[in-house]
A and B are shown apart, each in its own frame.
Chain A
């Protein structure tokens, strides 16, 4: 359980996703990271058409937490549950219905470099790949403010100029709260939403 930062990597012009992934993987491997299996993050969205002003409900499965499922409302509450959540939600079909085109997932390789965990994944809606996500986790620390310096350095060596210079606002916890998977999932949902918007924009 550590501090996690997720961002989308904009691939350079003229390269397709496959080449971009290979490029960034070779970069990470040169740093000395070792492959440590595959990872997968799936997100299903639901909305309640009957209730007015209802927020979208996102259901997230992260292979890093294989025994848990996360339920997230946008900018609102967050829930950690057992694996039976999707079955439970299907029983509530009357209220919550899956959104069309709502299933996004991110699959890729997992690398371990000392205390860091680097995940490079391809974000795809259905069968088509839409983007590349980079996730960096620093396991020993649980306070984002304390380890941001190290993480930004690491990010710079992986993704170059696209690394953010200062601690992003959504990572800054309220007060001195510890970093929790809630923030991780929020970042994922934000990234998926951005990717959806770009898809729609095209």
Chain B
């Protein structure tokens, strides 16, 4: 045989022998199902290693290029884009294959005419099928174990961190607490380092005060030995609240600020020699719990107390400076300043005393029985704050060339042609006079107390008409008002009198319903007198209105008739009324016994129709008189006094009503 036959490629394929998967105990055999068409295709597709193919191709090309390097180099020079071109060509081929595969798999209808196109169902070459997924471990115990392990690892990290923090905290070395305490001190107080020493300042300079006291303190590191020695002052401080933690810092304040101080304002009645009302003012009242708490260390308490002492001293210094220079007075006696006390008589026998209390060891005790005058406390505090803010906050001038420090109104005063009165009024508004405010406020307070007491006493005395006093909420530091309503119970709709009492520091003004206004002095007897006359006039007015409703006519009203037989009876008004048929007249007089209660005396004159028989023989029997004789009958009647206690009725007006209705029949 000449010529070798060309090599024939033989492909081998195993027999599709169904392999046995399992043989059961009863001899039954379970075969592994042979792969279906799609499964075998996927199997083959899985076996294709696309990357290996590329590598083979690349190695082939490499060999090709390496054998003919020169040629390639020559060729490369000629065609430098060859590599790139082949790569792009290969990727284009692959993209085309992909699109073809996708379109066949989706079985998109092509543009082939209908005769040649065959039904889609029979020509389906490729189909989508699900890719096989890995089964998740369905065992729950396994999941739990893995989660537990992960959480354990995370918690270990956190615990180690917490352990470190704990160790750092519990490691209380003396040096560490000293620094932390110093930090706390710096957070609350102004402290700075001067060379070796640490100094601080507790004055109110940054708030606008111009008090001379420097208010500086020194911070000292306490060594362990003398951490237990406290002097009297500090012991008393610690007694106030028991839980004082020990601290490695000691604060040294100047000796005149060590102690407890407060400012007390008292209004005393010299005739009774006891303080009526007093108020004590100290910074710690206003501080309250916002600034300090029970767990504050000792140094904080020392500093707070020192600041309080400074505050009281500054306020007192301001008050005494103004008191000494005071020219215009509203007081009964001049102001006397001795040492730490300012005294003046605001009214005769009423003394106002301002005292600066300072004690090295014990805090000032406040008498719990005496209520404090909050308004004066507040006003003094406010004045000081306003003074501070005025020094600190100066409004910038508009225009900028104008004088600094003036308010807008002052600057415009010239150009808006303010007259003398207007200028005086603005000057009065802008001055901050501590003593003026204190005096007017205490006078107002005192006068108001007097008015209150008088009203109470009088309303208790007169149980007859009901007296109601309603104090208005719209009151100021120097003025307050009350509305007095007088009405008889059961007869409120009949008549009610109302009067407005305006309390001022120097006088009491009364406004009546008929637009009359009276000015009474501050003396309580004035108000007492007025009150009595008011009640009396109310009663008489009610009688008038009542009689009018019942049909009686008013004959005569007089507000005051000095008809008392004895000098110790004061008359407060009288009324004369008569019934509508003229048969009965009633006269009521309201008298006040000096030193006693008000009593009403009533006289009734009534005439019954005289019998004709009695008149026989008298001049009334004359035929000329007969027509008019009835008119004159009541004239000769006798006045009879009414038995007041026996009359039915709870109070005066009710008794009057009974009387009037029973007399007319």
A interface residues, Cβ below 8 angstroms from B: 1, 63-70, 80-83, 139, 180-181
Q: Give chain B interface residues in 591-629, CB to chain A under 8 Å.
A: none
- Distance between Cα atoms of A29 and B406 in the complex (Å): 40
A154 to chain B, nearest CB (A): 19
Other than A67-B414, A67-B418, A68-B415, give 18 A-B pairs with Cβ distance below 8 A.
A1-B417, A63-B420, A64-B419, A65-B417, A65-B418, A66-B423, A67-B413, A68-B413, A68-B417, A69-B414, A70-B417, A80-B414, A80-B416, A80-B417, A81-B415, A82-B414, A82-B415, A181-B417
A135 to chain B, nearest CB (A): 13
- Distance between Cα atoms of A63 and B415 in the complex (Å): 15
Please, could you name 30 A-B residue pairs with CB atoms under 8 Å apart, sorted by A? A1-B417, A1-B419, A1-B422, A63-B420, A64-B419, A64-B420, A65-B418, A65-B419, A65-B420, A66-B420, A67-B414, A67-B418, A67-B423, A68-B413, A68-B414, A68-B415, A68-B417, A68-B418, A69-B414, A70-B417, A80-B414, A80-B415, A80-B416, A80-B417, A81-B414, A82-B414, A82-B415, A83-B414, A180-B417, A181-B417
Q: Which residues of A contact B423 (CB under 8 A)?
A: 66-67
Contact code string B103-123 (vs A, CB < 8 Å = 1, else 0): 000000000000000000000
In the complex, the 10 A-B pairs of residues with the closest C-beta atoms, listed nearest first: A67-B414, A82-B414, A68-B414, A67-B413, A181-B417, A68-B417, A65-B417, A80-B417, A80-B415, A64-B419
B interface residues, Cβ below 8 angstroms from A: 413-423
Q: Which residues of A contact B414 (CB under 8 A)?
A: 67-69, 80-83
Q: Which residues of B contact A181 (CB under 8 A)?
A: 417
Provide the main secondary structure of the chain B interface: loop
Q: Which residues of A contact B415 (CB under 8 A)?
A: 68, 80-82
A170 to chain B, nearest CB (A): 19
In the complex, what residue of chain A is closest to B416 when comparing beta carbons?
A80
B388 to chain A, nearest CB (A): 28
- Distance between Cα atoms of A86 and B422 in the complex (Å): 24
- Distance between Cα atoms of A181 and B422 in the complex (Å): 14
In the complex, what residue of chain A is closest to B418 when comparing beta carbons?
A67
In the complex, what residue of chain A is closest to B402 when comparing beta carbons?
A82
- Distance between Cα atoms of A139 and B418 in the complex (Å): 13
Provide the main secondary structure of the chain A interface: loop
Q: Which residues of B contact A64 (CB under 8 A)?
A: 419-420
In the complex, what residue of chain A is closest to B422 when comparing beta carbons?
A1
- Distance between Cα atoms of A68 and B416 in the complex (Å): 8
B621 to chain A, nearest CB (A): 67
- Distance between Cα atoms of A1 and B413 in the complex (Å): 13
Q: Which residues of B contact A83 (CB under 8 A)?
A: 414
Q: Which of A64, A69, A139 has the most CB of B within 10 A?
A: A64
A6 to chain B, nearest CB (A): 16
Q: Which residues of B contact A67 (CB under 8 A)?
A: 413-414, 418, 423
- Distance between Cα atoms of A180 and B418 in the complex (Å): 11
A37 to chain B, nearest CB (A): 9
- Distance between Cα atoms of A181 and B414 in the complex (Å): 12
Q: Which residues of A contact B417 (CB under 8 A)?
A: 1, 65, 68, 70, 80, 180-181
In the complex, what residue of chain A is closest to B410 when comparing beta carbons?
A67
Q: Which residues of A contact B413 (CB under 8 A)?
A: 67-68
Q: Which residues of A contact B422 (CB under 8 A)?
A: 1
A40 to chain B, nearest CB (A): 12
In the complex, what residue of chain B is closest to A36 when comparing beta carbons?
B420
In the complex, what residue of chain A is closest to B415 when comparing beta carbons?
A80
Q: Which residues of B contact A80 (CB under 8 A)?
A: 414-417
- Distance between Cα atoms of A69 and B414 in the complex (Å): 8
Q: Which residues of A contact B418 (CB under 8 A)?
A: 65, 67-68
A77 to chain B, nearest CB (A): 15
Q: Which residues of B contact A66 (CB under 8 A)?
A: 420, 423
In the complex, what residue of chain B is closest to A82 when comparing beta carbons?
B414
- Distance between Cα atoms of A63 and B417 in the complex (Å): 11
Q: Which residues of B contact A70 (CB under 8 A)?
A: 417
- Distance between Cα atoms of A117 and B632 in the complex (Å): 63
Q: Which residues of B contact A139 (CB under 8 A)?
A: 421
B255 to chain A, nearest CB (A): 51
Q: Which residues of B contact A82 (CB under 8 A)?
A: 414-415
Q: Which residues of B contact A69 (CB under 8 A)?
A: 414
- Distance between Cα atoms of A63 and B416 in the complex (Å): 15
In the complex, what residue of chain B is closest to A84 when comparing beta carbons?
B414
Q: Which residues of A contact B420 (CB under 8 A)?
A: 63-66
- Distance between Cα atoms of A85 and B415 in the complex (Å): 11
- Distance between Cα atoms of A69 and B417 in the complex (Å): 8
A41 to chain B, nearest CB (A): 13
B401 to chain A, nearest CB (A): 11
- Distance between Cα atoms of A103 and B154 in the complex (Å): 100
- Distance between Cα atoms of A70 and B416 in the complex (Å): 11
B412 to chain A, nearest CB (A): 10
Q: Which residues of B contact A1 (CB under 8 A)?
A: 417, 419, 422
- Distance between Cα atoms of A66 and B421 in the complex (Å): 11
A188 to chain B, nearest CB (A): 14
A98 to chain B, nearest CB (A): 22
- Distance between Cα atoms of A10 and B558 in the complex (Å): 54
Q: Which residues of B contact A81 (CB under 8 A)?
A: 414-415
In the complex, what residue of chain B is closest to A110 when comparing beta carbons?
B420
In the complex, what residue of chain B is closest to A137 when comparing beta carbons?
B419
Q: Which residues of B contact A68 (CB under 8 A)?
A: 413-415, 417-418
Q: Which residues of B contact A180 (CB under 8 A)?
A: 417
In the complex, what residue of chain B is closest to A180 when comparing beta carbons?
B417
- Distance between Cα atoms of A64 and B420 in the complex (Å): 6
In the complex, what residue of chain A is closest to B420 when comparing beta carbons?
A64
- Distance between Cα atoms of A80 and B415 in the complex (Å): 5
